[in-house]
Amino acid sequence: MSILVDVNTPDSVPNHVESKDGNAAVSKRAVLTIEEIQKLLPHRYPFALVDRIIEYVPGERAVGIKNVTFNEPHFQGHFPDRPIMPGVLIVEAMAQVGGIVLTQIPGVPVGLFLFAGIDKVRFRRPVIPGDQLILTVELLSVKRRRFGKMQGRAEVDGLLVTEGELMFSIVE
């Protein structure tokens, strides 16, 4: 398994942590830039909703960042006098972080991962322009290398804004 490292830091030697299976994984200095994310995910503007991956443990979890800005198209109508990020886009951003985990699992066929279900999603507080979403997604299970289930969580300033279970299916 490869280790993703932010090569733009003066000290590019990563801090390692142990994953559940005992393999070395990378802690907070691991990173995928937007260019690298676009190589893994098919989403493009206006639906590319992850700006950076800041943590990645292969086959287990990923943490991404979504910088919420006023110039995003959905704020024109949701809502003109009180811009609030639509909950479905927060869930989609969590799913895209999950896609990073799923596309990197050895043996998973190449294809497009689509939502197969969304359970137990709760919205705790609004997300507004200027917020930075921290999106954490943990892999719960993979079945027949075609279906995945993940637990997603979105936070702003350390406060929970959204959480839920996300199910995926691959379309070849």
Range of the domain at 78: 60-171
Render pLDDT for 112-134 as a digit per residue (tens, 0 to 9).
Answer: 889 999 999 999 999 999 999 99
| Residue 34 placed within a domain | no
C-alpha–C-alpha distance, residues 50 and 101, integer Å: 13
pLDDT at 21: 52
Number of folded domains that form the chain: 1
168 DSSP β-pair partners: 115, 148
Q: For 24-39, how does the pLDDT look when each residue is reduced to its tens digit (9 = 90+)?
A: 444 444 589 999 999 9
Neighbours of 73 (CB within 10 A): 9
Question: Does residue 16 lie in a domain region?
Answer: no
> Which CATH number fits the domain that encloses residue 109?
3.10.129.10
pTM of the model as a whole: 0.82
Is 43 an active-site residue?
Answer: no
The verdict on residue 148 lying in a domain is: yes
Closest CA to 101 of 135, 66, 134, 138: 138
Choosing from 16, 43, 74, 78, the catalytic residue is 78
